[in-house]
Each structure stands twice: as C-alpha cells, then as structure tokens.
C-alpha cells in the first residue's frame, strides 16, 4: 500500500450537486415516458393479480380488503424499485460505460457532489413513480385516509434511502453484470420482507429479525400508517431508522465511490 496525498477538500458543494442532479433530470425530461410507464404498469399488474385476484379469496384482511391492505406497501416499494435500479444500473452505466463522472470531476465538481446529485435524482425518480401510482390507487379509493397525501414524501425518503444503498452497491460492483447480486440479495429480499403482502406480525424467529433490519419494512410501515392514519411513536421510530440508514449509506457511497474513482 502507498499513502497518497489525498484531497483535503471533502466537503459537498450543494450548488454543484444540484448541477449533477439537473443533468439527470434533463435526461429524464427527454425520456420520461420510457422510464416512467414501465414502473407504473408493473405495479398496477401486481395490484390486479394480488389485490383483485388473490384478494378475492382473502376476506377481511386486518379490517380492510386485501387491495386496500397492499396499496400503501406497493407505493413505497415502487419508490424502492425505481431508485434501486436507477442508482445501481443507471449509476454504474454513467460511471463506467459513459465516463460521465470522469467528465464531471474535471470541472469544479468533486466526487462528493456527484454522489449527492445521483442520490437526489434517485429520490426524485422514486417519488415521481410512486406518486403516479398513488394517484391511480387513490382514484380507485384504495386509501382510507387523506393522510395518504403524505405518500409522495414517504416515497421520497424511501427512494433516497434505497438510492444510497444502490450507489454503495454500484461502487463495489466489479462489473455491470455483478449488480444482479444487488437485485437478488438486496432489492427482492427487501421487497418480500417489507410486509407489503402480509401482516408483519405473522413472522417470527429469523425472518422476523431479518424483517426488522430490512430498510423497506420501515418504509412500508410508515406508508401504511399514512394511508390508514394510524400514526404513533412507532411511526417516529421507523422514520428515524430510515433517516439513519440514509445518512450511513450516503457516507458509505461517498467513501467507496471516492476509493473507486480516485486512482
């Protein structure tokens, strides 16, 4: 190992992080129909198959219909999927194949700004997808409370948290292809353990413990609290966990990206 004279300036410049996010926003503005419609269709199909199909034989689930039960979870998970893919495959592609980050850091932009700009973009993309879905679900009367208007905010926080995890995964992925591990061992386990499809209290032992550490579980719980207006101290605790994971993973994403790109 050698010890290089590392840059002393490790601050984030918010104005430049914003310029990085604007670059991604501009691309999204050009391609939004291609990027957004698949997200929305996916989730609506899940709702049709599970909410209407499976729901027909699951009566009186937790005091509501099954479709109403899974709706807030599907909204939160759509934010997770959208940000989880954008900030893993999308970020990796920009970093490695298009060398977009290399071009950025030859300007006053530093790696720290690039990472924060990517995370903010992932958060906005997740929130946009989730909001589109929430509007559709709301139109079908699947939310029991006007507090469901908070779902875009919940989706934004969820997407930021997952984006930070995804950029961390991208920063240590040796190849684009190896991001399949992030999908299979990250996104999908979080999805199935999130409590979207069953009452979280039904699990015990190892699965219950895994559920507690799964970031998406906290997101889905908060989303359901909003949709059913059942806030409490547990809501505050779950939001705190999400913010904690976000801060931790933003830090890991920055440190690992710096290690990968500065050479």
Q: Which parts of this chain interact with other proteins (CB under 8 A)?
A: 1-9, 13, 15-16, 19, 22-23, 26-27, 30-31, 98-100, 102-110, 262-263
Alpha carbon distance 127, 247 (integer Å): 18
Of 26 and 199, the one with the shorter C-beta distance to other proteins is 26
- Closest approach, Cβ 259 to other proteins, in A, equals 11
- Closest approach, Cβ 16 to other proteins, in A, equals 7
Of 76 and 124, the one with the shorter C-beta distance to other proteins is 124
Of 29 and 139, the one with the shorter C-beta distance to other proteins is 29
Alpha carbon distance 33, 198 (integer Å): 32
Of 90 and 195, the one with the shorter C-beta distance to other proteins is 90
Alpha carbon distance 128, 130 (integer Å): 6
Of 44 and 172, the one with the shorter C-beta distance to other proteins is 172
- Closest approach, Cβ 116 to other proteins, in A, equals 14
Alpha carbon distance 233, 77 (integer Å): 23
Alpha carbon distance 22, 124 (integer Å): 11
Of 4 and 202, the one with the shorter C-beta distance to other proteins is 4
- Closest approach, Cβ 33 to other proteins, in A, equals 15
3 state SS for the chain:
CCCCCCCCCCCCCHHHHHHHHHHHHHHHHHHHHHHHHHHHHHHHHHHHHHHHHHHHHCCCECCECHHHHHHHHHHHHHHHHHHHHHHHHHHHHHHHHCCHHHHHCCCCCCHHHHHHHHHHHHHHHHHHHHHHHHHHHHHCCCCCCHHHHHHHHHHHHHHHHHHHHHHHHHHHCCCCHHHHHHHHHHHHHHHHCCCCCCCHHHCCHHHHHHHHHCHHHHHHHHHHHHHHCCCCHHHHHHHHHHHHHHHHHHHHHHHHHHHHHCC
Of 30 and 234, the one with the shorter C-beta distance to other proteins is 30
- Closest approach, Cβ 24 to other proteins, in A, equals 9
- Closest approach, Cβ 32 to other proteins, in A, equals 13
- Closest approach, Cβ 207 to other proteins, in A, equals 41
């Amino acid at each position: 190992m050698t010890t290089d004279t590392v840059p002393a300036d490790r601050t984030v410049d918010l104005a430049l992080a914003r310029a990085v996010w604007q670059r991604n926003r501009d691309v999204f503005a050009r391609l939004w129909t291609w990027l957004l419609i698949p997200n929305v269709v996916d989730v609506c199909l899940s709702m049709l198959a599970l909410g209407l199909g499976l729901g027909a034989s699951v009566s009186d689930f937790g005091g509501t219909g099954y479709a109403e039960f899974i709706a807030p979870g599907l909204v939160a998970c759509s934010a997770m999927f959208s940000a989880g893919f954008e900030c893993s495959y999308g970020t990796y592609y920009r970093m490695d194949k298009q060398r977009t980050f290399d071009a950025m850091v030859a300007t006053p932009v530093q790696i720290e700004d690039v990472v924060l700009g990517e995370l903010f973009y992932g958060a906005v993309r997740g929130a946009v997808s989730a909001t589109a879905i929430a509007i559709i679900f709301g139109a079908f009367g699947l939310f029991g409370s006007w507090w469901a208007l908070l779902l875009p905010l919940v989706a934004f926080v969820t997407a930021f948290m997952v984006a930070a995890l995804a950029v961390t995964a991208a920063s240590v992925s040796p190849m684009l292809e190896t991001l399949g591990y992030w999908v299979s061992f990250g996104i999908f386990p979080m999805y199935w353990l999130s409590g979207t499809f069953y009452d979280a209290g039904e699990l015990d032992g190892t699965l219950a413990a895994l559920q507690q550490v799964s970031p998406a579980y906290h997101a889905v719980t908060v989303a359901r609290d909003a949709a059913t207006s059942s806030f409490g101290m547990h809501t505050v605790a779950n939001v705190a966990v999400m913010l904690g994971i976000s801060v931790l993973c933003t830090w890991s994403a920055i440190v690992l990206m710096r290690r990968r790109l500065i050479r």
